[in-house]
Structure 1
C-alpha cells in the first residue's frame, strides 16, 4: 500500500501547530470544494471531489492527537479500505470516539440494490500484537447486499475497527449509499421514470419500451390522454421489498410532452377543426 503524505496534502510542515492545520484545511477546502468549482468546470467535478476527500481525510487524522501520533509512527492511519472483487466502497470515514464505532459509506448501484450482490472489501486495520505493540493487519470482509436494501441500511462488524492501547476494538459499520441511476429514480420502494413523448402520442396513445434493472425488455401501452400532471402507475415493477423480495413497489411514468416549435397555416386550421369537434 502506498501511504499518503497527509502533511504534503495539507501543504504544512510536519511540526505544524493545530492552528496552522486548521487554517490550511479551511483554505484548501474553499479552493477544492466541488460545489464551489463544478459550475465553472463541470467536467472536472470528480477531480475536485477526489482532492476534497483527500484534504478532509488528511485533516481528520492530523487534527486528532492520537491519530496523528499513530500516523507519525507508522506512516498511515488504518482503517484503509480498498475494492476487492466486485465491491465498491466509499472513502468517507467517521470515527465516533464516544460510541466506539467506525462508520464508512458503502456505495451501491441501483442495479445492485435491485438484484442483490456480494461485495468483498479488503481492510487494513491497526491491532496489538502479542507484545502489546501496534501493527497493521489485512482482512477481507464480505457483505451480502440484499435485494431492496435502501440508502442508510447499516451492516455492523463488531470489533473490526482499529485497536488502540488500553481500549477495545471499535465496531466497524458500513452504511449503504445509493449511486444515482441515469434513468430510474427511487422513492422508497417505487421507481420513477420521466418519459419524453410527442404531443401526438400524448393525445392518441403510444407504446413505451424500457429495459428493467434486471435486464428485461418490457413494453407498456399508453392508452389514456396524457394531461399535465398525469402519471401512469405500473404495479409490481418497482424495487423489491427487502423483507419479501417476491413483492415489489410500483413503476411510475411521468411524462414530458414535446410540443412542436411551429405549425403551418393548414395545420393550425386542421387542429382547430379537430379540437373543436372533440369538445362537442
Structure 2
C-alpha cells in the first residue's frame, strides 16, 4: 500500500470526518514550516505528507480507492474505479492539492505563496490568505440579469473590498482569498462550499480596480451563481500619498536648511534607499520633482510616474538680538 495515510494522521481506519479534521489541525499546526525554523526541511516533508493524507482521506472517492487499491491505485494514470468494481467515476484522476491551500482553508491568515489569479480584471478610477468572504444576493455589483443557456436568471454580482498596502500596489504580489458561499445540493437545499481564490496583484493597480470571478457567488435554486467581484482599496501610508501615477511626500525643513541646503534620505516602496541632494534655496510652497520614482504604470510597469516632494519651511518662533544682527550682516 505504500504510505499508510491513517498512521500519518494518527487516526483509525473508521475515523469520521470530524476525527480527520481534528487530527489534521493538530498535526498541521505542529509541523508547519513557519513553526519549525530550526529544522525546516523535515517540517516541510512532514507537513506535505500530513496534508496529502488529509486530502485523500477526507474525500470519499479518493478514500474508497485508497482503501481498495492503496496508493498505487490513486497514482495510476489509467486507473478507473468503474472498470475495477462497477462504481465510481470513470474520469477520475488523482490530483494532489497544494499543502498550503489545504492549510489556508482551515486557518486563513495573511499573504502567502499563491498561483496566478484566475479572475477577470477591470481598471478602477483611472486605472495567505485573506478574510472569509460570505456572498449574498444583495451585492452592489452590476444589476444586469444575464440569461444562461437554460434560461436561468443570474443575480446581481457580489462586491467585496480588497484592501492593499501601497507597497503591494507598487511591487505587485499574490493573494489567496478564502470564500464560503451557498449553493443548492442535489435536493435543492442550501449547502456551504468553501474555496480558495487566487489573485495576482499587478504593479500599478489603482483604487477601484475590479477583479471578477465569474459565478463564484451564492446560488439560489433555479438560478446561475452570481459573479464575485473584488474591488481594490488602498490603505493609507505613513510617508507616501498617491496621486494617480505620482507619489507625494510632504517634507518639513528648517529655515536654515531651506537657505543652505540639505540631503534627504527616503526609503522607496520597494525598499531602496534614495538620496536626494537639495542645493537650491527652498521657498515656501516649493516642490521638487523626481521623474520615474512614482508608481508603476499598470499598462507598462517598466514606466513610472513622478515623485513629488512638497516642502514646508519651518520658521523660528523667535530670534535673539545677536542672531538678528548676524542675519542683517550676512544677508545685507
TM-score by length of 2: 0.56
Distance 1:204 1:91, change over 3 A: farther
Distance 1:215 1:118 in 2: 18
| Residue of structure 2 in register with 1:201 after alignment | 257
Matched, 1:138 2:182: no
Distance 1:148 1:90 in 2: 25
Q: Any idea what the Cα deviations from partners look like across 1:85-135, whole Å, max 9, x if unmatched?
A: 414459797614833200111000000000001010110000111222210
Distance 1:233 1:96, change over 3 A: closer
| Residue of structure 1 in register with 2:231 after alignment | 175
Distance 1:207 1:84 in 2: 40
Match for residue 182 of structure 2 among 121, 126, 136: 126
Larger Rg: 2
Structure 1 unpaired stretches of 5+: 1-81
| Residue of structure 2 in register with 1:248 after alignment | 304
1:56-205 counterparts in 2 under 5 A?
83-86=108-111, 87-88=129-130, 95-96=139-140, 98-99=143-144, 100-205=156-261
Q: Any idea what the Cα deviations from partners look like across 1:135-175, whole Å, max 9, x if unmatched?
A: 00100001100000000000000000000122211000010
Distance 1:91 1:180, change over 3 A: farther
Structure 1 residue 217: Cα displacement: 0.9
Structure 1 residue 228: Cα displacement: 1.7
Aligned-partner SS, 1:95:
coil
1:197-276 counterparts in 2 under 5 A?
197-276=253-332
Structure 2 unpaired stretches of 5+: 1-106, 112-128, 145-155
Q: Is the 8 A contact 1:96 1:102 kept in 2?
A: yes
1:3-82 counterparts in 2 under 5 A?
none
Q: Is the 8 A contact 2:161 2:230 kept in 1?
A: yes
Aligned residue pair count = 195
Distance 1:189 1:216, change over 3 A: same
Structure 1 residue 204: Cα displacement: 1.3
Aligned-partner SS, 1:169:
coil
Structure 1 residue 274: Cα displacement: 2.1
Distance 1:190 1:96, change over 3 A: closer
Distance 2:307 2:160 in 1: 31
Q: Which runs of 4+ in 1 moved over 3 A?
A: 82-85, 87-94, 96-99
Q: Any idea what the Cα deviations from partners look like across 1:21-75, whole Å, max 9, x if unmatched?
A: xxxxxxxxxxxxxxxxxxxxxxxxxxxxxxxxxxxxxxxxxxxxxxxxxxxxxxx
- Normalized per residue, the structure richer in strand is 1
Structure 1 residue 256: Cα displacement: 1.6
Distance 1:96 1:235 in 2: 39
Distance 1:218 1:235 in 2: 13
TM-score by length of 1: 0.66
